[in-house]
Amino acid sequence: MPSLLRIVVGFLFTCHGAASLFGVLGGAVGSHGRTVPVDAWPGWWASAIQLLGGILVALALFTRPAALICSGSMAYAYFTVHQSTGLLPIENNGELAALYAWIFLLFAAFGPGPWALEQLLSATGKEP
């Protein structure tokens, strides 16, 4: 079950990054239909973390450090974007950022679960 949750969450996070960076999958999330300008702080960097981090977490490669970075980026998004408009996530539309932050922190703490490329590679002697 943890592996299935990791795969789904990683895939969805990747979709957010791809939407913001490339304007695919229905357009850029949070950018009013435009892609995020290259090297724009913090939007482009957050989108790059979403794309790369989501892929790494979904595939279970470098899961713990990738998940920790993803969790931190979502905590940053929550406190800098959402917290200013209300105390609770239900008030400030920050539920998604809060959920991602806590779920990625869970993966950082407990690892990727049994279905992981990391484990497959370590079994063959090619540890990532």
pLDDT along the chain (128 residues), means of 10: 93 94 74 75 93 97 97 96 92 96 97 86 67
pLDDT score of 69:
98
Q: CA 49 to CA 114: how far, in whole Å? A: 24
**What residues have CB less than 8 Å from 59, skipping those under 6 apart?**
10, 117
- Tokens 């595939």 belong to 59
- Answer yes or no: is 109 within a domain: yes
End-to-end CA distance of the chain: 23
DSSP for 53-78 reads HHHHHHHTSSHHHHHHHHHHHHHHHI
Per-residue tokens: 12: 């969805």
pLDDT score of 99:
97
- Answer yes or no: is 116 within a domain: yes
Domain that holds residue 75: 2-123
**Tally of domains within the chain:** 1
- Answer yes or no: is 128 within a domain: no
